[in-house]
Amino acid sequence: MSAENLEFMTQVWSCSLGGDAPLQLDGWLSDDEISHLSALKLPLTAKRFALGRILAKLGIAQLDGGEPKQIQIVTDSLGKPHVAGDGPAISIAHRDHMVIVAVSRAQSIGVDIETMTGAFDVGQLVPIACNPDEAAWVRAPDGGELERLLRLWTLKEAALKCLGQGLRRDPREIAFLCPLGAEPRLGGDPEDMRFAGLDLGQGWLGALAVRGGAPDFQLHDGAALLAAL
Ligand SMILES: CC(C)(COP(=O)(O)OP(=O)(O)OC[C@H]1O[C@@H](n2cnc3c(N)ncnc32)[C@H](O)[C@@H]1OP(=O)(O)O)[C@@H](O)C(=O)NCCC(=O)NCCS
């Protein structure tokens, strides 16, 4: 594939927080990001937020060039992050010790991750997340309930981030067609979104939603990006 085609693929970096050592933040965060960080009470949450922003700035610089620390990320009134001025679309997700960021030339993107080791109550989540057809797919009696639910949930949350609405919108409204034995796909194309599953290994599931572009992506090790600093 040519370098030109690669540039039009969404670039995704995943990274584990590593140990308890604090991140070196010198010059990485804007005043707004520092004030957001200081409001986060849990060290895990704070470190994830900071790592997400640093990785996103490094990823944006990979695509656009420039000095990563000079890149400004702003959030709109609903919380969706954007590059200040003219820049690529970005999306960030974290769960437990894992952070994932995506950067793309598409109009808008959304990413989400979940881990199969999380304490999920399938019975409680299905009615909140799924319409009746999706619920029947998740609950097919073959023992794969949790994985199917999380596949669907990551797709829906990626979609809601791509649309910039987050969970203000009822996730049941983003309706997927879920044939048994096949991957879910959006019913019709009312929102002009396309999707890809992210295979993150070791019980981690992820999804990418793309609006105004192809759902092709490249997955990278975020730790390598940080180590190159
Ligand atoms: C967006 C949302 C679905 C994320 O869910 P989550 O599982 O808590 O968190 P994730 O780790 O998957 O994603 C967090 C990232 O989503 C992004 N995000 C937040 N709001 C977003 C929005 N409206 N659109 C797109 N992305 C958004 C942010 O980049 C955030 O990371 P950051 O703060 O480190 O930059 C959720 O926070 C949400 O719906 N927020 C808006 C409504 C709200 O605040 N409701 C209260 C809870 S229902």
| 5 compared with 207, residue with greater pLDDT | 207
Span 38-52, pLDDT tens digits: 999 999 999 999 999
Q: Please work out whether the CB of residue 156 comes within 6 Å of at least one atom of ligand 1.
A: no
Q: Is the pLDDT at 1 greater than 80, yes or no?
A: no
Span from the CA of 181 to the centroid of ligand 1 (angstroms): 31
Superfamily of domain 3-227: 4'-phosphopantetheinyl transferase domain (3.90.470.20)
Which residue, by CA, sits nearest to atom 9 of ligand 1? 93
- Give the confidence band of 5 by pLDDT, cuts at 50, 70, 90: low
Q: Is the pLDDT at 185 greater than 90, yes or no?
A: no
Which residue, by CA, sits nearest to atom 27 of ligand 1? 80
Identify the bridge partners of residue 101 per DSSP, sorted by sequence position.
Answer: 13, 92
Which residue, by CA, sits nearest to atom 19 of ligand 1? 79
Q: Please work out whether the CB of residue 217 comes within 6 Å of at least one atom of ligand 1.
A: no
Ligand 1, residue 93: give the atom nearest the CA.
Answer: 11
Which of 33, 60, 32 lies closest to 46 in space, CA to CA? 33
The whole-angstrom separation of Cα 11 and Cα 220 is: 8
Which residue, by CA, sits nearest to atom 46 of ligand 1? 167
Interstrand relation of 10-16 and 217-221 (parallel, antiparallel or unpaired): parallel
pTM of the model: 0.94
Query: Which residue in the block uniquely carries the two structure tokens 């933040």?
Result: 25
Rounded mean pLDDT, 4-12 = 78
Span 69-86, pLDDT tens digits: 999 999 999 999 999 998
Q: Is the pLDDT at 6 greater than 70, yes or no?
A: no
Span 80-138, pLDDT tens digits: 999 999 899 999 999 999 999 999 999 999 999 999 998 889 999 999 999 999 999 99
**To the nearest whole number, what is the mean pLDDT of the chain?**
91
Question: Contacts by 181-190 with C-beta closer than 8 Å and gap 24+?
Answer: 183/151, 184/134, 184/137, 184/151, 184/152, 184/155, 186/159
The whole-angstrom separation of Cα 82 and Cα 150 is: 26
Identify the bridge partners of residue 110 per DSSP, sorted by sequence position.
Answer: 209
| Pocket mutation for ligand 1, best pick of 35, 92, 111, 114 (most atoms within 8 Å of C-beta) | 92
Whole-number CA gyration radius for the chain: 18
Q: Please work out whether the CB of residue 59 comes within 6 Å of at least one atom of ligand 1.
A: no
- Give the confidence band of 205 by pLDDT, cuts at 50, 70, 90: very high
Give the pLDDT confidence score for residue 24 in this predicted structure: 85
The whole-angstrom separation of Cα 28 and Cα 47 is: 13
What is the residue-wise DSSP string for the chain?
--HHHHHTSEEEEEEE--SSPPP--TTTS-HHHHHHHHH--SHHHHHHHHHHHHHHHHHHHHHH-S-GGG--EEE-TTS-EEESSS--EEEEEEETTEEEEEEESSSEEEEEEEETTS---HHHHHHHH--HHHHHHHT-SSS-HHHHHHHHHHHHHHHHHHTT-GGGS-GGGS-EE--TTS--EESS-TT-EEEEEEE-STTEEEEEEEESS---EEEEEHHHHHHT-
Q: Please work out whether the CB of residue 152 comes within 6 Å of at least one atom of ligand 1.
A: no
